[in-house]
Chains A and B, each alone.
Chain A
Amino acid sequence: MSSWLKSLIIGIVVIALLYVLNGMMSKGGFFGAGIDDYTARLLVFIAINIILATSLNLINGFTGQFSIGHAGFMAVGAYSSAYFTVNYGKQLESAFSFLGETGASSIILIIAIVIGAIVAAIAGAIVGIPSLRLKGDYLAIVTLGFAEIIRIVILNIDAVGGATGYQVPGYANFLWIGIFAVITIVVVHNIVKSDAGRALVSIREDELAAEAMGVNTTRYKVTSFVISSAFAGIAGVLFAHYNKFLSTNDFQFIKSFEIIIMIVLGGMGSMTGAVVGAIVVTLLPELLRQLPAIQVGASTFQFSDLRLVIFALILIFTMILRPQGIFGTAEIGNIYRRFRNKLGKPGGLE
């Protein structure tokens, strides 16, 4: 089977799956089958976190530049697009009313995503060009600082709600968020597998040697930072229009660290790792809510009250046992092939 036909079929299957899940989340359900609001919200946040982790992995995992300001760019995307939809959304709704309610809100969402991505990319360039001269911990501190500056600036703009928060129309649904998660994975995957991707990895491995091979390291570092920021912006747009409310508290440095945890846990420089990391970090604290209570004498002890402590312990032990993350730099495809070879079935080494 030719590879584009394979991709097309996979694409159709994925979109159909997302469509069914999206249907199950809506009021009436999908042919009677439904997903409750809590689960729906979790799935949405997994998809948004996949966008964030996969894009941060491009700069941290593949290019080897330790940035910890991803939440800042997410905020830029969220607020810039929200400003647009709050002020022009109603007009556009009537202008596109011939497409029906779903059609109109989809069009507006796409426009919002383009705006959010562009503004976040510009912010990425402004932050990246001066700071990517720095390395290691210096770069980390500067990006963290920039992300906080962005947040404080937004906090002081009254036109986007300031400290009281910002009401945003809910144009996003799971279908679109899922589609953009898939688009992010496909785009980052293609970058990594291209010649440019080899250049990025060589920068991670040894910047001076990469330069000696003829790689314009500054240009590649800035470009990957800008692309990464644009996707963080897209995640911000989707979050804003799903959550319907923005507060700068959602974009504190703790959010940046959460994304870092996802890629470190999954394995820096692994696409699969970023996706799995995003799923684990989103789901685990929620699953730990269901820990049982035990009766100690007259008082009840709630294990679920300790869920964040247990979550932290799980992270610590994972890092002790697998410092390179769950996947290291390997991908699910490599592991599958190795497994298949072990079983002695056809399909040799790649």
Chain B
Amino acid sequence: MLTLENVSVNYDAIEALTDISLTVSQGEVVTLIGANGAGKTTTLRTITGLLEPRNGRITYEGKEISGMATHRLVPMGIAMSPEGRGVFANLSVRENLDMGAYIRKDKKGISDDMERAFTLFPRLKEREKQKAGTLSGGEQQMLAMGRAMMSRPRLLLLDEPSLGLAPLLVHTIFEAIDNIRSEGTTILLVEQNANAALHHSDRAYVLETGRIVMEGDSKQLAADPRVKEAYLGE
């Protein structure tokens, strides 16, 4: 579904990503783990067209999307929950979800999906009329994910959804990821919380200073002594 072939990205003279190749197939949850500064967010920013690769190509459903403007990816079925959540602070929860369906015109479908988002995150229903800026960090993350789902994406890109959340909320977020996946949406999950990410994904890539150093089945990686030592703190 999504393929990166030998993608290299520079921030001016500094090479941020070197020769990244990865694939995400239909129906999978793929996670990209790594330490701070390894290039996880840079990879997502490159996929979403915010950065232009110096080398290599990115294809989605057979079409090249390298450097394509973010807003053009949404009608193609890609949705993103950006780093730092990026909720519209002065709009209500409902208005935020409405914005998620910005490219859609089918009123009935939108209101059905709104209900679905509320089922996925009942907390959002309670806060429906509240301004998004007044929500807690965890609720904002739920809103960001619910909003991303409002465009009915085939591929959902999640950037550090568990960042800065209490353990209980991390659990809620990963449960939601399982639910979204069971409804048939493919997910590329960028995470620092390697433990949770590996337990809720099919395959994983490990990034270190801009290179993919390991890849494979999530369960196997979780059992790998090198991963255990470096990322799982065991």
Contacts and interface: CB of A to CB of B under 8 A. Distances in A.
A214 B48 contact: no
A201 B99 CA distance: 10
B230 interface: no
A201 B71 contact: no
Interface in B44-67: 48, 50
Interface residues of A, number: 18
Contact of B102 (A205, A213, A329): A213
Contact of B90 (A205, A208, A210): A205
Interface in A164-223: 195, 198-199, 201-202, 205-206, 208-217
A178 B147 CA distance: 43
Given A198-B98, A208-B82, A209-B82, A216 B69 contact: yes
B6 interface: no
B103 A206 contact: no
A212 B79 contact: yes
Q: Which of A195, A199, A209, A216 has the most CB of B within 10 A?
A: A209
Nearest to B81: A212
Nearest to A195: B102
Contacts of B99: 198, 202, 210, 213
A329 to B, nearest CB: 7
Q: Which of A198, A217, A329 has the most CB of B within 10 A?
A: A198
Given A198-B98, A215-B71, A205 B88 contact: yes
Main secondary structure of the interface of A (DSSP, over half): helix
Contacts of A214: 71, 74-75, 102-103, 151
B70 A211 contact: yes
B91 interface: yes
Contact of A205 (B79, B81, B91): B91
Given A198-B98, A198-B102, A213 B151 contact: yes
Nearest to A218: B69
Interface residues of B, number: 26
A113 to B, nearest CB: 34
A206 B86 contact: yes
Nearest to A204: B90
Contacts of A205: 88-91
Nearest to B91: A205
B38 to A, nearest CB: 21
A321 B91 CA distance: 24
B93 interface: no
A209 B86 contact: yes
A199 B95 CA distance: 11
A205 B88 CA distance: 5
A210 B75 CA distance: 14
Q: Which of B70, B87, B89 has the most CB of A within 10 A?
A: B70
B48 A212 contact: yes
B91 A216 contact: no
A239 to B, nearest CB: 34
Interface in A285-331: 329
30 contacts: A195-B102, A198-B98, A198-B99, A198-B102, A201-B88, A201-B90, A202-B91, A202-B102, A205-B88, A205-B89, A205-B90, A205-B91, A206-B89, A209-B82, A209-B86, A209-B87, A209-B88, A211-B70, A212-B48, A212-B71, A212-B79, A212-B82, A212-B86, A213-B99, A213-B100, A213-B102, A213-B151, A214-B102, A215-B71, A216-B69
Interface of B: 48, 50, 69-71, 74-75, 79-82, 86-91, 95, 98-100, 102-103, 147-148, 151
Given A202-B88, A213-B99, A213-B151, 13 more contacts: A195-B102, A201-B90, A202-B99, A205-B90, A206-B86, A208-B50, A209-B82, A209-B87, A211-B71, A212-B48, A212-B86, A214-B71, A214-B74
